[in-house]
């Protein structure tokens, strides 16, 4: 289903924010904004592009 | 000539549809299913008209929801009554790559097509330019830059449609094929009925993939497709992913040549704005403020036009009594018909405001944020963030709200949403709440005049309905072992200014449906009630009037007249019906007069106010007169007031929980395909209403 919405392998994934109790996740995939529950987001295979920060939510990765 | 309007959700299809068809629209259902079907006509210039059908939004020819499956069914079945001769495809120019995926699939189905790059002007403002000739050459169809909101580009589209359909064969079309290499599907195709047409082959593949979800497919076709899929051993999901990726691979080079993209300022601005609007604490706070604003608007802002309508109908009723000669016909007109119509029209301001605010939430993109913010809460009760849209729509009316549950992918979550949505305090409960709150709660400002006590009580009732809906959903989850297969996949669109024309048309349609559909029931029941409460068997009513004079000659003329009418009402047909159920409802604090209202409002709960107004001769448009009449009423034997705070609370709880809407039961039957869920709803909701009213009254009295 994600591919129908324009999310494809190789795109950059950025975690923008988490919901009130950690879910859903607000993700920027390519130039799209998507909300996914953490269970679904775990199914994405990601390759980190920048080191994960020591604190905070933001993380940038590439979907594969 | 039939033209289908096709595109992704949020592409601006509705704006284009409204522009093409103007006010020449009809809202109905697709045959055999309860999916909204919007159609309209567009003049082609030579005296003929084209029918435009607005299909539910699709992301691809692989539907995820029942309404998307209906759209696909229309496109795949030439025998379907809505099967189009051509397609106008609306793509959001700001996100062309994703929106063109479905367009290439539509081309491969062999439809003559017109491509609209909608909102191209907005993309242009951010420095994005489109080379239309490159797109036209690549796709082999006419391409237009349009804006459904301003109407820009649509005259050229209309002109192109007119010239094309004036010809024997539609258009200067030579649609290019985007079919992915067939080898992946060769195993399946070899087992399907042989066809030489590539369009027909693609259609067959899609029919095989979706054979279980296409209602228009014949049973024998379904069996052939079933066997072919099983024999080929093909993984349908694999096939879908391969096809989708192949299409994106073909689109990439075309868009690289046709689109010069610079900034994504609107997108970046929206993402920045979301840092506040979706913040777990600040965003949730804003969300609750928005809800509070809606409820205060319904109670406070709507009061001004409601008072105006109130005054008009009160004067009309008095004027009719003064002008017309006394008799049953003038009484029917002044006390039956006019109060009945007034009881319908009085709620137009509230319904207008509610749909205006919900429409604005949808148009601005805030509704998607509301889904995001509420998903975590909803899933704890076995629902989904998308259930929130149904529940919030249920505040207006359960019927469209239940229909909107089609966008929920998971069947169990969808059924749970349908089951609990009628608990949401719909607009039909509002009149009952208004009358009983006006009776039981003093009109006083609190928090330094910031809030109104009656408004707060109303807010409390809305919260109660919501909490009971969630608690019931949790019970459903517990008893059905819910949780499996639940997911949320939500796109958060850019924030944008609302299209007032769209919002206006939506509000107009909702108000029209309320006035025509609910209004008919209310007016008819009001008149029937007038007859039932004006007449009784033989001379029973006249005897009752005479008895009052004989028993209490000492009473003043005013008291005498009031008590005579009360006693006569007791002997009327309506009074006899109410008295028949009195033993069952007496423990709730209800007398036979309330019993009449309970019977009549079983079909539609908003009839309660009209019934009470008819019984008390107050005129349903006059809430304060009705409250005063209710406050004056006393038990003939004990002299105790009939309506106390305990009675009002008991009634409020009964109306908050009871299933008193035939339309809701009917729509649940249609959406779930059987009477099982509506019957369980009826027993569960009415049982809960009875028990909670019983407990409240017994504790408070």
* Spatial distance between the Cα atoms of A42 and B222, rounded to a whole number of angstroms: 36
Find the mean pLDDT for residues B73-96: 89
pLDDT of residue B575: 85
- Residue by residue, DSSP assigns B28-73 as EE-TTS--EEEEEEEE-SSS-EEEEEEPPP-SSSS--SHHHHHHHH
Confirm if B377 and B556 have CB atoms less than 8 A apart. Answer: no
**If you search the block for the tokens 């879908």, which residue do you land on?**
B240
- pLDDT over threshold 90, residue B439: no
- Window from B27-31, B41-45, B70-74, B555-559 with minimum mean pLDDT: B27-31
Q: Which comes out higher in pLDDT, residue B693 or B81?
A: B693
* Spatial distance between the Cα atoms of B117 and B679, rounded to a whole number of angstroms: 48
Asked if A16 is an interface residue toward chain B (Cβ–Cβ < 8 A), one would say yes
pLDDT one-digit tens code per residue, B88-126: 999 998 888 889 999 999 998 888 999 999 988 877 777
- Window from B241-245, B547-551, B572-576, B600-604 with minimum mean pLDDT: B600-604
**Count of the separate structural domains present in chain A:** 1
As a residue count, chain B comes to 701
* Spatial distance between the Cα atoms of B421 and B227, rounded to a whole number of angstroms: 40
Find the mean pLDDT for residues B620-632: 69
Residue B699 pLDDT grade (very low, low, confident, very high; cuts 50, 70, 90): very high
In a domain, A40, yes or no: yes
Give the nearest partner residue to B244 out of A3, A23, A37, using CB atoms: A3
Tokens of B473: 């959903």
Is the bond preceding B343 in cis, omega lying within 30 degrees of 0? no
Find the mean pLDDT for residues B568-597: 88
Find the mean pLDDT for residues B143-168: 84
Provide the CB-side half-sphere exposure for A41 (13 A, CA).
Answer: 21
pLDDT of residue A57: 46
Name the average pLDDT for chain B.
82
pLDDT of residue A55: 46
- Residue by residue, DSSP assigns B225-276 as HHHHHHHHT--HHHHHHHHHHHHHHHHHHHHHHHEE----HHHHHHHHHHHH
Confirm if B630 and B616 have CB atoms less than 8 A apart. Answer: yes
Q: What are phi and psi of B698, to 5 degrees?
A: -65, -35
Enumerate the H helices of A1-64 as residue ranges: 38-41
pLDDT of residue B34: 46
CB atoms within 10 A of CB B590: 23
CATH code matching the domain that covers B2-166, chosen among 3.30.450.40, 3.10.20.30, 3.30.110.30, 3.40.50.300: 3.40.50.300
Q: 3-state class of B608 per DSSP?
A: helix
**How many contacts does A have with B, using Cβ atoms within 8 A?**
97
Q: For residue B54, what are the β-bridge partners? A: B5, B38
- pLDDT over threshold 90, residue B145: yes
In a domain, A53, yes or no: no
Q: 3-state class of B180 per DSSP?
A: coil
Q: What are phi and psi of B331, to 5 degrees?
A: -65, -40
Give the nearest partner residue to B492 out of A1, A6, A33, using CB atoms: A33
**Burial class of residue B292 (count of CB atoms within 10 Å of its CB; 0-12, 13-18, 19+):** middle
Name the range with the highest mean pLDDT among B34-48, B288-302, B530-544, B681-695.
Answer: B681-695
DSSP code at position A27: E
Asked if A5 is an interface residue toward chain B (Cβ–Cβ < 8 A), one would say yes
In a domain, A56, yes or no: no
- pLDDT over threshold 50, residue B194: yes
In a domain, A62, yes or no: no
Residue B42 Ramachandran class (φ > 0 left, ψ -120 to 50 alpha, else beta): beta
pLDDT one-digit tens code per residue, B252-263: 899 999 888 766
In a domain, A6, yes or no: yes
CB atoms within 10 A of CB A5: 20
Residue B689 pLDDT grade (very low, low, confident, very high; cuts 50, 70, 90): very high
Q: Please state whether the predicted TM-score (pTM) of the whole model is above 0.95.
A: no
pLDDT of residue B455: 82
- pLDDT over threshold 80, residue B647: yes
Confirm if B624 and B632 have CB atoms less than 8 A apart. Answer: no
Tokens of B48: 């003929």
Q: Do B488 and A40 touch (CB under 8 A)?
A: yes
In a domain, A22, yes or no: yes
Range of the domain at A31: 1-44
* Spatial distance between the Cα atoms of A23 and B629, rounded to a whole number of angstroms: 53
Residue of B331, B362, B253 lying closest to B530 (CA atoms): B331
CB atoms within 10 A of CB B181: 10
* Spatial distance between the Cα atoms of B321 and B617, rounded to a whole number of angstroms: 13
pLDDT of residue B30: 47
pLDDT one-digit tens code per residue, B196-219: 677 777 777 777 777 777 766 777
- Window from B307-311, B393-397, B491-495 with minimum mean pLDDT: B393-397
Output the tens digit of pLDDT for each of chain A's 64 residues. 777 777 888 888 999 999 888 889 999 988 789 999 988 888 888 888 766 555 444 556 665 5
pLDDT of residue B389: 77
Asked if A31 is an interface residue toward chain B (Cβ–Cβ < 8 A), one would say yes
Name the range with the highest mean pLDDT among A43-47, B218-222, B592-596, B680-684.
Answer: B680-684
pLDDT of residue B511: 80
pLDDT of residue B184: 59
* Spatial distance between the Cα atoms of B110 and B200, rounded to a whole number of angstroms: 8
Residues of chain B with CATH 3.40.50.300: 2-166
Q: If interface means Cβ-Cβ distance under 8 Å, which residues of chain B face chain A? A: 59-60, 62, 64, 95, 97-98, 101, 241, 244-245, 248, 264, 267, 270-271, 274-275, 278-281, 284, 368, 371-373, 375-377, 379, 385, 487-493
Question: Which residues, including other chains, have CB under 8 Å from residue B598's CB and lie 6 or more apart?
Answer: B581, B585, B590, B654
Confirm if B357 and B301 have CB atoms less than 8 A apart. Answer: no
CA B470 centroid distance within chain? 19
Q: Do A8 and B271 touch (CB under 8 A)?
A: no
Q: Do B95 and A26 touch (CB under 8 A)?
A: no
pLDDT of residue A53: 56
Q: 3-state class of B259 per DSSP?
A: strand
In a domain, A27, yes or no: yes
């Amino acid at each position: 289903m994600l591919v129908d919405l324009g999310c494809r392998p190789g795109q950059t994934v950025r975690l923008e924010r988490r919901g009130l109790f950690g879910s859903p996740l607000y993700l920027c995939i390519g130039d799209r904004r998507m909300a996914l529950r953490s269970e679904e987001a775990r199914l994405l295979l990601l390759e980190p592009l920048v080191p994960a920060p020591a604190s905070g939510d933001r993380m940038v990765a590439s979907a594969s | 000539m039939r033209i289908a309007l096709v595109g992704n959700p949020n592409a601006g299809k509705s704006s284009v549809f409204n522009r093409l068809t103007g006010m020449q629209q009809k809202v109905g259902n697709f045959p055999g299913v309860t999916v909204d079907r919007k159609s309209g006509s567009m003049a082609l210039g030579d005296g003929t008209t084209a029918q435009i059908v607005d299909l539910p939004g699709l992301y691809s020819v692989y539907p995820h929801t029942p309404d998307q499956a209906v759209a696909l069914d229309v496109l795949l079945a030439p025998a379907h009554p809505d099967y189009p001769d051509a397609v106008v495809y609306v793509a959001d120019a700001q996100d062309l790559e994703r929106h063109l995926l479905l367009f290439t699939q539509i081309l491969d189905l062999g439809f003559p097509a017109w491509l609209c790059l909608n909102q191209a002007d907005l993309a242009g403002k951010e420095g994005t330019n489109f080379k239309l000739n490159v797109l036209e050459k690549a796709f082999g169809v006419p391409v237009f830059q349009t804006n459904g909101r301003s109407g820009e580009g649509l005259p050229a589209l209309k002109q192109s449609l007119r010239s094309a359909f004036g010809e024997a064969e539609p258009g200067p079309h030579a649609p290019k094929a985007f079919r992915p290499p067939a080898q992946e599907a060769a195993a399946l195709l070899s087992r399907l009925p042989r066809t030489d047409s590539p369009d027909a082959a693609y259609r067959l593949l899609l029919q095989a993939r979706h054979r279980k979800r296409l209602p228009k497919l014949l049973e024998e076709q379904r069996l052939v497709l079933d066997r072919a899929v099983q024999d080929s051993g093909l993984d349908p999901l694999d096939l879908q992913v391969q096809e989708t990726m192949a299409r994106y691979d073909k689109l990439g080079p075309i868009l690289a040549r046709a689109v010069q993209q610079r900034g994504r300022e609107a997108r970046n601005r929206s993402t920045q704005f979301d840092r506040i609007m979706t913040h777990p604490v600040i965003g949730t706070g804003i969300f609750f403020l928005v809800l509070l604003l809606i409820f205060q608007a319904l109670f406070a802002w709507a009061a001004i036009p409601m008072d105006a309508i109130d005054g008009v109908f009160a004067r009309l009723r008095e004027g009719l009594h003064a002008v017309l000669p006394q008799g049953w016909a003038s009484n029917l007109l002044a006390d039956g018909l006019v109060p009945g119509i007034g009881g319908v029209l009085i709620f137009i301001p509230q319904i207008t405001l509610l749909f205006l605010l919900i429409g604005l939430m949808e148009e601005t993109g805030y509704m998607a944020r509301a889904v995001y913010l509420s998903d975590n809460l909803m899933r704890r009760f076995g629902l989904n963030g998308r259930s929130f849209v149904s529940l919030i729509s249920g505040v207006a009316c359960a019927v469209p709200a239940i229909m909107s549950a089609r966008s929920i992918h998971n069947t169990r979550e969808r059924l749970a949403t349908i089951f609990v949505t009628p608990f949401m305090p719909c607009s039909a409960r509002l009149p009952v709440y208004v009358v009983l709150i006006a009776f039981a709660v003093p009109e006083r400002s609190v928090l330094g005049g910031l809030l109104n006590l009656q408004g707060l009580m109303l807010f409390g009732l809305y919260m109660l309905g919501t909490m009971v809906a969630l608690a019931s959903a949790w019970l459903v989850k517990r008893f059905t072992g819910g949780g499996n297969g639940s997911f949320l996949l939500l796109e958060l669109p850019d924030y944008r200014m609302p299209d007032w024309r769209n919002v206006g048309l939506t509000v107009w349609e909702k108000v029209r449906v309320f006035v025509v559909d609910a209004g008919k029931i209310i007016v008819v029941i009001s008149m029937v009630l007038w007859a039932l409460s004006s007449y009784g068997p033989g001379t029973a009513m006249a005897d009752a009037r005479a008895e009052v004079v004989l028993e209490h000659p000492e009473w003043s003329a005013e008291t005498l007249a009031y008590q005579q009418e009360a006693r006569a009402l007791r002997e009327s047909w309506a009074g006899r019906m109410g008295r028949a159920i009195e033993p069952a409802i007496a423990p709730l604090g209800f007398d036979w007069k309330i019993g009449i209202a309970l019977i009549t409002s079983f079909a539609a709960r908003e009839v309660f106010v009209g019934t009470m107004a008819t019984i008390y001769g107050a005129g349903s448009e006059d809430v304060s007169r009705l409250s005063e009449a209710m406050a004056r009423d006393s038990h003939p034997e004990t002299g105790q007031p009939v309506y106390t705070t305990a009675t009002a609370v008991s009634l409020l709880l009964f109306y908050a929980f009871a299933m008193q809407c035939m339309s809701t039961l009917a729509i649940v039957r249609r959406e779930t395909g059987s009477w099982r869920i509506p019957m369980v709803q009826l027993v569960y909701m009415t049982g809960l209403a009875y028990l909670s009213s019983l407990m409240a009254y017994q504790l408070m009295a």
